[in-house]
Amino acid sequence: MKEEKSVAKWLVLTTVIVGTFLGRLDQTIVNLALPKIISDFGITVSSAGWIATAYILANAMFVPIWGKLGDTIGRKRVYIYGFSIFIFGSVLAGFAWNFSSMIVFRVIQAIASSADYPTAMAILAVTFAPGKERARALGIWSSSFAAASVFGPLIGGTMIDTFGWRSIFLINLPVGLIGLGMALVFIRESVSEKKTVMFDWWGATMLGAALSSMVLVLDKGLGWGWLSAESLFCYAAVAIFGFLFYRIERDHPEPIVDLKFFKIPLFVNALANNFVIFVGLMGSMFLIPIFAQTFLGYNATQTGMLFIPMAACMMLAAPIGAAMIGKVKGSMVIFWSTLGTAFAIYLYSFIDPRTTALELMVPLAIMAIMMGLGMPQRTAVVAAAVPQNEIGVASAILALVRNTAGAFGIALFGTVLQYSEESHLVSTAAHSVIRSTNPTIIAQGIALIELKSQVSAYGDVFMFAAVFIAAGAALSLFMKMDYEHVPPSQEQEEALLMAE
């Protein structure tokens, strides 16, 4: 009987990994398809950016709503709803006939995908016993979030080059149906011990508006200009809606985000470290494919191949990291994994057009090992820091932090890249002399100056990112984690009885 219960738990873990991986894979894979979508729909690069932006905005708005609903009406029910709508939206996106229809279908996908993370984390929390067992399960599951960022370029490049961009959406139908079937069979229903009587719709609305404004300016600010009228409007919206959200949550009897979470040092430190590490991860994942295709002449498939060692290392390191929970001091695991990630990104500061494929893959592999070792601890500590009945909301906050960190990382790295390139261009031009009046030679000289400036800028960006992440590693030293001696809640006991 005990063996059957153990198998049932791992089937639940496998089920939610499929869902989380599929949702995050879709989010990362679409960027590779944008050039072909631009060609097919006859749109500009600026317009195409809204395909990704619309997804991020809708996802940010609905994550806290799904997290609260899952705790209230049932995690399995919300998970099934989200998964089903995601599959439906994916098929629609695969048959999109123009730019407008693609935007609508991506929003449907995003709303549905945002249900996965908070409900999946809560499902695992009531399936696995408190302490090391739950922490390890959450750790293994959380690695699928980072793994999807790795497999996106790997799988997506080959599919796009071979079957066209529509295949990256349509593949979600067969894989999604398998995951949906697993969810229906293996996941047990659970709700929070604390019943919601008055859902905080006003708080959810204000939070969604504030987050959407913040993500929008992070995504579009570089193109608009950080001090443009559009950006200033977004800053004002973030401040106004954020203030209204605070006032509503402070007085609401059942807030969508319990502000007392932010009085827990462990919770705040964990969020801060997650933010730092995902800034580095998403920012670097954004720039490496661009460098490979722009300066090294790689196509989408060849670029995807660069990520094979990273994918393998992530899969090997994540279980090891999960097994270390309770055996090695958690704060030190997170510290060294964050520092190791900073070192991996630092290696890219020497990047240039002579960089080989091996020189690109080795730092990615190191990053994957460090991320795999530390990610289980980063997720488990959030679950351990908050009350059992509010783990859905806490996981929604964690998802928001990671998504926002991704947008922030891309915006930050992109801005540093632009300003560094301009600085290097002025400096290089000032110290360069073209001793010829031949127009062809002059043009070649100018092109070389621009090339050197662009490449040097990439090195600066990665150096900046490495320092940023290394500084963030210090946050983990203030974490005090204890996965032992956590008594099971009523819903935990009920879930264990049902499993029997």
Cα–Cα distance between 234 and 287 in angstroms, integer? 25
Q: Residues 444, 421: one domain?
A: yes
Q: Residues 305, 206: one domain?
A: no
Handedness of CA 334, 336, 337, 343 (dihedral sign): positive
Q: Is residue 195 in some structural domain? A: no
List phi, psi (to 5°) of 325: -65, 130
- Mutual angle of helices 357-385 and 308-323, in 10-degree steps: 30
| Digit-coded pLDDT (tens) for 10-32 | 888 888 888 877 877 777 777 77
Out of 35-49, 92-106, 388-402, 433-447, give the one with best mean pLDDT: 92-106
| Digit-coded pLDDT (tens) for 365-422 | 898 888 878 877 777 777 777 776 666 667 777 777 877 787 777 777 877 887 887 8
Q: What type of residue sits at position 198?
A: M
Q: Is residue 185 in some structural domain? A: yes
**CA–centroid distance for 178 within its chain:** 23
Q: What is the pTM of this model?
A: 0.70
Domain that holds residue 154: 2-189+256-499
Cα–Cα distance between 356 and 363 in angstroms, integer? 12
Average pLDDT, the chain: 78
Cα–Cα distance between 188 and 182 in angstroms, integer? 11
Q: Residues 225, 313: one domain?
A: no
Q: Residues 93, 228: one domain?
A: no
| Digit-coded pLDDT (tens) for 312-334 | 787 788 778 877 877 777 778 88
Beta-bridge partner residues of 325? 328
Q: Residues 305, 452: one domain?
A: yes
Mean pLDDT value of segment 126-148 = 72
Q: What is the pLDDT of residue 489?
A: 42
**Percent residues over pLDDT 90 in the chain:** 7
**CA–centroid distance for 250 within its chain:** 29
Cα–Cα distance between 394 and 401 in angstroms, integer? 11
Q: Residues 367, 243: one domain?
A: no
Closest CA to 384 of 258, 270, 259, 262: 270
pLDDT at 194 over 50: yes
Tokens of 150: 């790795």
Cα–Cα distance between 245 and 238 in angstroms, integer? 10
**What's the alpha-carbon Rg for the chain, to the nearest Å?**
23
In which residue are the tokens 């969810």 written?
A: 183
Closest CA to 343 of 362, 321, 323: 362
Q: In Å, what is the CA distance from 39 to each residue of 34, 99, 290, 461, 478?
A: 9, 11, 18, 30, 50
Q: Residues 180, 222: one domain?
A: no
